[in-house]
A = this chain, B = another copy of it.
Amino acid sequence: HAQQFVKADIPLPPPTQPPTEVLEPDKKTPDSWLPRDPRLIRLTGVHPFNVEAPLTDLYNEGFLTSPELFYVRNHGPVPQVHDEDIPDWEFSIEGMVEHPIKLTLRDLLEQYEQKTYPVTLVCAGNRRKEQNVVRKTKGFSWGAAGVSTALFTGVVLSDLIRKARPKRGARYLCMEGADKLPNGYYGTSVKLNWALDPNRGMMLAHRMNGEMLRPDHGKPLRVVIPGQIGGRSVKWLKKLVVTAEPSDNWYHIYDNRVLPTMVSPEESANDPKWWMDERYAIYDLSTNSATAYPAHEEQLCLVGSEPNYRVKGYAYGGGGRRITRVEVTLDKGKTWRLAKIDYAEDRYREQQPRELCGGTLDMEGQEASHCWCFWNLDIAVHELAEASDIFVRAMDESMNVQPRDMYWSVLGMMNNPWFRVTIAKEGDYLRFEHPTQPALMPGGLMERVKKAGGNLANGYWGEKLGGPEAEEP
């Protein structure tokens, strides 16, 4: 299917090889019918299926991620939908609307304009492992690859919602999937006026990189909410309900929140008021970045090396806000260097309206930035040899900059402090370490610092406060 991209001056989806074999671990689960890619790192044991790609593999695929390496966050068994049943997949728009609508996927394809554009999805738990090393949260350990980008094709949500005509007083749009879980079907909500704003790019999608959605990604129909945490992009969509109040779905209330940092796991378990406070629900992604190169445990030979090393990684903002600068420090924040930023998304934006993947690519008027960007910076190898670490931080167009220190919270979400890579000199080599490794994989500088007795919460990355500043008045 790559044919359709051939003459494009836009990034091509990477070559895809849809998995054909059911993996051994899945065979004893409800997903035993579902082939998957063996490179994916499982974060919650065998089932449900929650995975990220190895960070280097993810970065190497480029701007767009193949569906088989695209991160997955499932709460339970994947709803199985046979191809012949897809056109008859039913869903509804109901609640506080003048015109409730019930339609099939066939109707959606026939009666509405289809659009295609790239969107980056990010799990609210991206980089959570770092929080878990500092202090155990209630969430499982994502590394820094809980983020992926694809071309999604479908119908702009505002077109649908406007047709249903929300009533005065309506403020929220609740969504519900077909995945039956211990606490009911998965569901959540967003603000209605966000859903009505086409610039926010919310979409009901049925295609991903030009092919039908795969089961782990919501086949046959999902919501795609750019710029917000992945948990709002409901998969296997069955219901949209316009309401005056936020969703009362169990997963809306007890997940995807950042409680104030002083609320302990015990306190949060004992007092439901912390969960009922909608102020602590998270929607927009927080500004974030990570370094892909140097990779974890990469070695750089000092003998005969190029004079410069190119440090590279990704960054993203939330709520459609563009990353306007990425800065790198080799001296723990005393001085900063400006990295180069590449926004591949802009190359779609600059296209004249055209067909792409079964929808129209036409980003006219879509000012908001819905994708990650890549950054890079050339650093002299001798400077790296003299430094003990490389920190990176991004800032968005609203001056939201990644914080120096972690904001720990009981669910461990939205972790976004400066991303640190340490540099160790070992003979003729520099060896680099990332903060953590995903899931239960050992390794990473934070674990090392902690094992050596460092207090990771001491405001200095667990290191001794030393050096010349310690002597100042």
Contacts and interface: CB of A to CB of B under 8 A. Distances in A.
A144 B438 CA distance: 43
B284 A399 contact: yes
A458 B473 contact: no
* Chain A interface, >50% SS class: loop
A63 to B, nearest CB: 19
A404 B404 contact: yes
Contact of A261 (B169, B280, B327, B454): B327
Interface size class of A (residues with CB under 8 A): 35 or more
When all copies of this chain in the complex are counted, the total is: 2
A442 interface: no
A293 interface: no
Given A367-B171, A399-B284, A404-B404, A260 B336 contact: yes
A410 to B, nearest CB: 14
Contacts of A169: 364
Contacts of A336: 260-262
A319 B287 CA distance: 15
Interface string A3-19: 00000000000000000
A84 interface: no
Contacts of A455: 469, 472
Nearest to A284: B398
A338 interface: yes
A407 B401 contact: yes
Given A398-B318, A458-B469, A464-B473, A262 B403 contact: no
A273 B338 CA distance: 14
Given A286-B398, A286-B400, A399-B414, A279 B322 contact: yes
A470 B473 contact: no
A399 B469 contact: no
A304 interface: no
Interface string A459-473: 110111110011111
B458 A465 contact: no
Contact of A464 (B192, B322, B338, B471): B471
A325 B169 CA distance: 26
A305 to B, nearest CB: 26
A364 B465 contact: no
Interface in A316-345: 318-319, 321-322, 324-325, 327, 332-338
A9 B325 CA distance: 45
Contact of A403 (B191, B280, B327, B401): B401
A473 B459 contact: no
Nearest to A407: B401
Contacts of A453: 472-473
A258 interface: yes
A427 interface: no
A199 interface: yes
B262 A399 contact: no
Nearest to A462: B472
A262 B335 contact: yes
Interface in A395-436: 395, 397-401, 403-405, 407, 414, 416
A404 B393 CA distance: 14
Contacts of A193: 199, 365, 367
A168 interface: yes
Contacts of A334: 457, 459
A324 B277 CA distance: 10
Given A193-B199, A459-B469, A464-B470, A324 B280 contact: yes
A232 to B, nearest CB: 13
A282 interface: yes
21 contacts: A169-B364, A260-B325, A260-B338, A261-B327, A261-B336, A262-B337, A279-B397, A280-B324, A283-B398, A284-B321, A284-B397, A284-B399, A319-B398, A334-B457, A400-B400, A453-B473, A454-B472, A455-B472, A458-B472, A462-B472, A465-B469
Interface of A: 168-169, 171, 191-194, 197, 199, 258, 260-262, 279-280, 282-287, 318-319, 321-322, 324-325, 327, 332-338, 364-365, 367, 395, 397-401, 403-405, 407, 414, 416, 452-455, 457-460, 462-466, 469-473
